[in-house]
Structure 1
Amino acid sequence: MTVADDSGEEHGHHLPAVEDWPRGFGEASWWPFVTALGGAGIYVGAALFLLATGQQPIVDPMLGPVVFVGAVGLFLAGLYGWVYHAFVKAFWSSDGHGSSGLRWGMVLFLGSEIATFGAGFVYYFFIRVGTWGTEEFPELLGSLVLINTALLVLSSFTLHWGHVELRKGNRRNFLVGLAATLLLGIVFIGGQVYEYYEFIQHEGFTLESGIFGSAFYALTGLHGLHVSMGAVLIAIVFIRALYGQYTAERHTSVTTVSMYWHFVDAVWIFLVVVLYVGAEVSL
């Protein structure tokens, strides 16, 4: 993303992307490429993990987890660099140039996310038409998923409230809203990890539990990855907010991160209805 040019030496912060990388790349940034490479590596790690399972594993069982963890690290590093140069550096621009472009950039990014999740749901609907056994299903629609859903929905309200308070000039309430949203997001992630633990250890419901098992963990895992990424973004916004880098007139990154978080919230509701409630109805 392109933001208004500014001097790193003048404000004492990190140099812009064009000075971080070899000359000759103009205004281009390598951070989106690094982030995309890490995201692709996550899928490669998952594929290697699957190739290591079964009666005749094709690759070493440790290869998949190692690639996955390394890819997550690369993805987060690229995301940090991308967010820093797209948003943090933009804070020092006095004219606010690029705010509209950043918002539209997030809209386009969410469009690609809709396509990603849409492909996953199309896969689920396709296999749902066929015949599958239900005897291996655990009780999906329990109190844990209901509480987790309520927490995630609540986090959208706290984020929206905090954003509204910022535009009113109330910095204290803005910080409270951000902190509450971040806490709720972390608790949601912990709840999903605990749900996986219960299903795998106590119910014997794993990735290999038929086609429904693979679809369940693929879709919920993909969503969990997006919530984790959203929590990282909110944490960055929260740290910046502590330094007073947002005002009622300058809050572009708050807007774009809010758009992402509300999208993740909406996807989870749809996922619960289709996957959790749908499986219970089939029983």
Structure 2
Amino acid sequence: MSATHPGYYIPHDTRWPIMGSIGLFALLGGFAMLLNGSSSAPVVMIIGTLILVVMIIGWFGTVIKESESGFYNDQVDISFRHGMIWFIFSEVLFFAAFFGALFYARIYSVPWLGGEGSVGATTGPLLWPGFEGIWPTNGPAEIGGAFGTIPAVGIPLLNTIILITSGATVTLAHWALKKNQRKPLCWWLLATVLLGLVFLYFQGVEFAHAYNDLNLTLESGIYGSTFFMLTGFHGLHVTIGAIMLLVMLLRAMRGHFTPERHFAFEAAAWYWHFVDVVWIGLFIFVYWF
């Protein structure tokens, strides 16, 4: 079927969905075993992860071959766009849940427990002597241990500059693709991937500093939990986005994409811009305020 064919492409039978289901079952089952102290849990999780990696490479490879063979028409392109929009929307809700937990704890729960409002007036004395409804809090020092926080000026600010710059480079790559300028496209994509890797490096340095020097860990009360859940999951999304852009770079080097048809590149760029926006929210509400 050509790209201008009026029909709608119906995928052939494929083994990838069932393989992905098996991989997810093994990964999550292994994680459940890990929580219950099973010694074989890591092996099960590794097997599940490997199955998922093979599934992703195989499935996306099939889609790429179909696309490059001209099987997809404009209606299929619209379907892909709708799918990516809903996927990013689900990611927005994912982070909204963690931001909601942060806001609820910081604005409502901690002040109430500190004695503000009718609820806190009765529950405050039930905690421990000397409790104050201030942020950050982790409870008495003997529970989670006293900890330090990471200021906004430093690695967080540097990483903000890095991600904003990467948003600009991926946009320049998109402009180059629209003008069918292959070399600038590849160089700007490479710059974006490298900036993402630099961001991850500095985030690793920050996490090591938090654990080793500040005693800021996942066990540091609600502050430590929300801090690492938000920044850690964002780092995971940066990793995924960098892998997506790396695949786009390799495809661009092989001559894939045209100025008119390049949704795979657009989808990766959308995802990267989403990652940028989430980080700005993190920088403001986790590090700055």
Counterpart for residue 25 of structure 1: none
**Distance across 2 between alignment mates of 1:69 and 1:140:** 36
For 1:273 and 1:110, locate their aligned partners in 2 and report how far apart those are by CA, in whole Å. 21
Deviation at 1:67, TM superposition (A): 6.0
Aligned to 1:93: 70
Counterparts of 1:43 and 1:191 in 2: how far apart (Å)? Answer: 32
- Asked whether 1:120 is paired with 2:66, we answer no
Match of 2:12 among 14, 18, 21: 18
**Cα offset, 1:139, TM superposition:** 2.6
Using a 3 Å threshold, how does the CA distance of structure 1 residues 95 and 171 change in structure 2: closer, same or farther? Answer: same
Q: Residue 174 of structure 2 contacts residue 185 of structure 2 at CA under 8 Å; is this kept in 1?
A: yes
Distance 1:64 1:76, change over 3 A: same
Give the alignment partner of residue 211 of structure 1, picking from 222, 240, 248: 222
What is the correspondence of 1:1-283 to structure 2 with a 5 Å cutoff?
18=12, 20-21=14-15, 30=17, 34=20, 38=24, 41=27, 45=31, 51=35, 59=37, 72-93=49-70, 96-97=73-74, 98-128=76-106, 129-131=108-110, 133=137, 136-278=147-289
Determine if contact 1:35/1:76 at 8 Å carries over to the other structure.
no
Q: Sort the Cα spacing of 1:76 and 1:48 in 2 relative to 1 into closer, same or farther, 3 A.
A: same
Q: 2:201 and 2:50 mapped to 1: Cα distance?
A: 19
Secondary structure of the equivalent of 2:258? coil
Instruction: Report how far residue 202 of structure 1 moved.
Output: 1.6
2:12 maps to a residue whose letter is: V
Distance in 1 between residues matched to 2:29 and 2:2, nearest whole Å:
35
Deviation at 1:259, TM superposition (A): 0.7
2:66–2:72 contact (8 Å) kept in structure 1: no
Q: Secondary structure at the match of 1:206?
A: coil
Structure 1's 36 and 233: CA in aligned 2 closer, same or farther, altered over 3 A?
A: farther
Task: Provide the residue aligned with 1:12 in structure 2.
Answer: none
Q: 1:76 offset after TM fit, Å? A: 3.7
* Deviations, residues 35-91 of structure 1 (Å, cap 9, x unaligned): 89549947974x777x5xxxxxx525x777666655554444433334323344312
Give the match for residue 118 of structure 2: none
**Residues 63 and 211 of structure 1: CA distance in aligned 2, closer, same or farther (over 3 Å):** farther
**Cα distance change, pair 215–251 in 1 and its aligned pair in 2 (3 A):** same
Matched residue of 1:136: which SS?
coil
Match for residue 130 of structure 2?
none
1:30 corresponds to which letter in structure 2? P
Flag the 1:86–1:67 CA change in 2: closer, same or farther, 3 A.
same
Task: Give the SS at the match of 1:30.
Answer: helix
Deviation at 1:248, TM superposition (A): 1.1
Instruction: Kindly provide the amino acid, as one letter, of the partner of residue 150 in structure 1.
Output: I
Report the CA distance between 1:227 and its aligned residue.
1.0
Does the 8 Å CA contact 2:164/2:276 hold for their aligned counterparts?
Answer: yes
Partners in 1 of 2:51 and 2:266 — Cα distance?
Answer: 26
1:92–1:114 Cα change, 3 Å: same
Distance in 2 (CA, whole Å) between partners of 1:86 and 1:36 is 21
> After superposition, what is the alpha-carbon deviation per residue over 1:117-169, rounded to whole angstroms, capped at 9, x for unaligned?
11111112222232352752323324111111111111111001111111011
What is the rounded CA distance, in whole Å, between the counterparts of 1:106 and 1:148 in structure 2?
Answer: 26
Q: Distance in 2 between matches of 1:36 and 1:99?
A: 29
Q: Unaligned stretches of 5+ in structure 2?
A: 4-9, 111-135, 139-145
The answer on whether the counterparts of 2:23 and 2:52 sit within 8 Å (CA) in structure 1 is yes
Equivalent residue pairs, number: 249
Identical positions, percent? 31
In structure 2, C-alpha distance between the alignment counterparts of 1:221 and 1:263, rounded to whole Å: 16
Secondary structure (helix, strand or coil) at the match of 1:130 reads: helix
**Take 1:184 and 1:43, find their aligned partners in 2: how far apart are those partners?**
35
Please give the secondary structure, in 1, of the residue aligned with 2:109: coil
**Which consecutive unaligned segments of at least 5 residues does structure 1 have?**
7-15, 22-28, 52-57, 279-283
